[in-house]
A and B are shown apart, each in its own frame.
Chain A
């Protein structure tokens, strides 16, 4: 590690000064008052660990970021949110990627809460949850002959709970006038592993269709019908190979497998899943933390037109203070890069939502005060 950093530093000293004047940090920074600290190329190595949901986004951002900052090395190990937080709190990771904000209540069997453990790790300073990557969850389906499908939260809940079992059920037909629905059994696919995608999908059902969905959202799927497959790739593969299949997957998986993606009608008209419509859900979310701790509370039942409500907001969990001084510039610079409108637009191409300006401004303010 030391060797790599040293070689990187030498390489930068030799040829770095003349080709990085246009570093992304400053040229595209959105509303960051003091963002100038990241304008010069940075050197050093930082290691992050956590959520698999943001892996593709971070891989893309890291490749671009290190392309512009040849002396910086950013590693992200997608082991899962829980493992990421454990590593972060244990000091092995410099930041954690997580599908949910740090929990403020101690979990059963743990002596302290995640927030408290993170505070200890940050030498007594608060850890912040920064929403930087948002992934829409698609309701992917494979119903022969159905190109466009509209579902209400009630229908989604009933289908995934096994109360509606056939595609040509009158309830589905009612909101899909003009569509020929096949007389076919619905096969539900869910995640068999514990996953933030499951938890957020269940939170949506509990928030938008409380009469039809009564279980408590958790990382483990609560339904009693269908079959579970491993990871989003397994679910997408299951839907693809089963006529009549339906399941919830990260949007990129639905796109990669050419699955049909249902439009969601929360009450304000059917909304197609796009990077923008999903980004609007994040913009509409209420702040749930204090100050620069930007944990969000999504309004799943929103009836605002044009908002796609099933979104998984993933956080980068960082120390507000107390991180190793050698790593700080790289981390800040990388996070700033992630929070630019340009980067967010690029992420839309690989299946993530575009975070709107209003969210990015707040995130940038927070990043700038990290010290």
Chain B
């Protein structure tokens, strides 16, 4: 394609391979800037990881309990003892329950907005969903703790009565400020993220696919199943992973809603603490480097966890791409 000015580099070097050697100053500066920006991101992540490791290692070596398996938390003691299995469990289970609640709803909302709703309705609706995403988490926390909690208790005990034989739904230690209650609020928080991204992907479904399905006599639902959903799947997965990332690291809402319990229970109707909520809760009382180190070690696990989630999401998306078409 020839440029209007007739001074395009492509014209001078059609092969394109030699562009680097003949580039001008602007190109070099811009290339330098973008490489620099990329390098800063990598350097930042590396710096955070190094900081976490450097502060955590002294405490971890002093730790007389097993960091990964022991259910104790006494980082200020002598010798210090701390382990994270409870934190890991609550962090993961609260986020998973939130995903189970919010992803189907989000996909449903996105499908409604893109496939069913008339454009007149879809636009303000989408804006409302985006607004939800902008609500600060502290507001969700307050709303959850003071209002939503009052309505969840009966749902919780109903589920417990029917499915109580599954350890996950035991009612023995049930409290109103439960992990389940926290998950519901987390679900509301991630709903707009997942919805907005899924909607973007669904609108991009090629019209040819949909028309082809219709031409073959597919109903509206069959069009969605055979054309829209397969096309949007990687997008929905990456949207869910973004939401999961937010749920894993959510601090304030969890801190406000979920109460702690003295004895660990597998049930989501019991209480607990996530990594983020415990760190935030005790941050005012970090008085020795050793104690701080213990909390930083917990933070390191959260860092690795979110990293792993993102990595898995990438792998899944890449794989799905290959299968598509």
Tell me the A residues contacting B by CB distance below 8 Å.
52, 79-83, 85-86, 107-110, 114, 192-195, 218-221, 223-230, 234, 237-238, 241-242
Cβ A227 vs Cβ B271 within 8 A: yes
Q: Which residues of B are found within 8 Å of A83, using beta-carbon distances?
A: 283-287
Q: Which residues of B are found within 8 Å of A108, using beta-carbon distances?
A: 76-80, 288, 290
Cβ A107 vs Cβ B260 within 8 A: no
Q: Which residues of A are found within 8 Å of B209, using beta-carbon distances?
A: none
Select one of A81, A109, A224 contacting B262, CB under 8 A. A224
Is B275 engaged at the interface, CB distance under 8 Å to the other chain? Answer: no
Report the separation of the CA atoms of residues A238 and B58 in the bound assembly, to the nearest whole angstrom. 38
Report the separation of the CA atoms of residues A108 and B290 in the bound assembly, to the nearest whole angstrom. 7
Report the separation of the CA atoms of residues A338 and B145 in the bound assembly, to the nearest whole angstrom. 36
> A228 and B78 in contact (CB under 8 A), knowing A109-B288, A110-B290?
no
Q: Which residues of A are found within 8 Å of B62, using beta-carbon distances?
A: 109
Cβ A193 vs Cβ B286 within 8 A: no
14 A-B residue pairs with CB within 8 Å: A79-B284, A107-B290, A109-B80, A110-B288, A110-B290, A194-B284, A195-B285, A219-B285, A220-B74, A223-B262, A227-B177, A228-B262, A229-B177, A230-B255
Shortest Cβ distance from A218 into B: residue: B76
Contact flags (1/0) for B279-314 with A, using CB distance below 8 Å? 001111111111101000000000000000000000
Cβ A80 vs Cβ B284 within 8 A: yes
The total of chain B residues at the interface (CB under 8 A) is 38
Q: Which residues of A are found within 8 Å of B273, using beta-carbon distances?
A: 192
Report the separation of the CA atoms of residues A82 and B78 in the bound assembly, to the nearest whole angstrom. 18
**Residue of B62, B259, B285 ringed by the most chain A CB atoms within 10 A:** B285
Q: Which residues of B are found within 8 Å of A109, using beta-carbon distances?
A: 58-59, 62, 80, 288-291, 293
Cβ B261 vs Cβ A242 within 8 A: no
- A interface, over-half SS: loop
* A15 → B minimal CB distance (Å): 40
Shortest Cβ distance from B256 into A: residue: A230
Cβ B256 vs Cβ A234 within 8 A: yes
Is B184 engaged at the interface, CB distance under 8 Å to the other chain? Answer: no
> A237 and B145 in contact (CB under 8 A), knowing A83-B283, A193-B282, A194-B282?
yes
Report the separation of the CA atoms of residues A107 and B62 in the bound assembly, to the nearest whole angstrom. 14
Report the separation of the CA atoms of residues A227 and B284 in the bound assembly, to the nearest whole angstrom. 21
Cβ B287 vs Cβ A85 within 8 A: yes
Report the separation of the CA atoms of residues A82 and B286 in the bound assembly, to the nearest whole angstrom. 6
> A227 and B261 in contact (CB under 8 A), knowing A109-B59, A192-B281, A194-B285?
yes
Q: Which residues of B are found within 8 Å of A86, using beta-carbon distances?
A: 286-287
Select one of A52, A193, A224, A241 contacting B281, CB under 8 A. A193
Cβ A241 vs Cβ B285 within 8 A: no
Is B176 engaged at the interface, CB distance under 8 Å to the other chain? Answer: yes
Q: Which residues of A are found within 8 Å of B150, using beta-carbon distances?
A: 241
Report the separation of the CA atoms of residues A170 and B271 in the bound assembly, to the nearest whole angstrom. 31
Cβ B289 vs Cβ A110 within 8 A: yes
* A123 → B minimal CB distance (Å): 22
Report the separation of the CA atoms of residues A219 and B293 in the bound assembly, to the nearest whole angstrom. 18
* A22 → B minimal CB distance (Å): 38
* A244 → B minimal CB distance (Å): 13
